[in-house]
Structure 1
């Protein structure tokens, strides 16, 4: 696993074996997570979404603790995946990083608890699967508007963003911070230390 520019975010680039029958790759290996994260990735829930081109999902996050770490892969088509540091007080607070995930390179991203996550579908029928360390709990789930100019994510040109009503009505980052919805860097660091035992 290769660390990304935001602490707690990682890129996994598997070796893909191909021949005249197709291809094979290992997309999750527990020892790689143990070594990179310093703790086990406990799987509590697995999700799958299918999106038409231009669909924009996120930016989603959950209360810390326990929040929800995610391991994300696009198994059909392509997406632009985005990780946003919404941890108030973090050295990279308000920074974001995008990674293209598709069914050709088979890359995956991991994001730790407390980070914001979203993606835009670049193709029709873009199919995304993600493993989650905690189950969905509506009372702990929150969002930040993915089009918030303060964050300034550069989404692909030529695609009109299609958002759910919930995501379109999500607060800006400043509004979420003022409302006390965002996790703090200190709370996240304490929780990461607890996970490492």
Structure 2
């Protein structure tokens, strides 16, 4: 007869092996709450994996700088203008509000964090240019990882956390109506008609 305790131990060990990288570091996570006009999103940040990026995001929270920011862009296969298609919502201060200095780019090759469903990551132009702009993934977006095709430089984007509550809010923002035009043709059809305001970003 099989030993019940041995079976349970084996199942537990298998679950640990199968667990995603985000779950493996829960003891080190910092949680923040983002209150938006469409509801609250709770985020787990991973300072042991992406210390510079997490410190930057927490600075915006601790200084109250993200109040007045918005989610203003939604990208999906139906409106993406890049052949390396993704599904994300993007937010931050845009061209308004105080910006902290740009930060060093922590690649997914360095951190081991991947762009999965609910991943929180930094928007950027050139590597090392990220400030207040961030995005949240819907589904797996491997094109955003190091070596992915989304950005021609191949450096990917800096994942540093994950949504642990409020993916329904993320999906609602993702489904928001968009404008047909944009100042940047690359973002045509992606700018949210009525940007969703961020009311609060604070440690939980």
- Normalization by structure 1: what TM-score? 0.30
Q: Select the structure that is richer in strand.
A: 1
- Normalization by structure 2: what TM-score? 0.29
Q: Select the structure that is richer in helix.
A: 2
> Over alpha carbons, which structure has the higher Rg?
2
